[in-house]
Amino acid sequence: MLIWELKGCDGMANEEKKYTKEDILEMLADKKPVVKNKKKDNFTKHLVVFIIFLNIVFAIAIMWLVFLTSYEPSALVVAFYSFTTVQLWNMAFIKKQKEMTKRTEISTYNEIKEEF
């Protein structure tokens, strides 16, 4: 009989718990599928659209300001576009990291399932 020893699982600190093949297959069968949080995804999409809209409005406002005063606030333009660019890159990075984590979890799950 195959017995796996897992340390520190199921809230048991520094204790060993032994699982049989049947126990592990039962745990895998009971695992619920990952459900995407659509509300959070919609928030990110809306935020990206809002930032792009804000960039367009800012560009129009700066052009109007230059037309009226013949003065370009270059430091403000650089700071604003730097800020919005960093925000968009950070959201993309976070999304990529979440997808990588999800892929790792799925591949680990499949590897364990294939062993049995």
Domain boundaries, the chain: 1-31, 36-115
State pLDDT tens for residues 26-35. 666 666 555 5
- Cα 52 → chain centroid: 20
The HSE-up count of residue 106 (CA atoms within 13 Å, CB side) is: 8
Which pair of structure tokens corresponds to residue 59?
Answer: 């560009």
Is pTM beyond 0.85? Reply is: no
In the chain, % helix, strand, coil (3-state, to 5) comes to: 70, 10, 20
Those residues of the chain that have pLDDT short of 50 are 1-10, 12-14
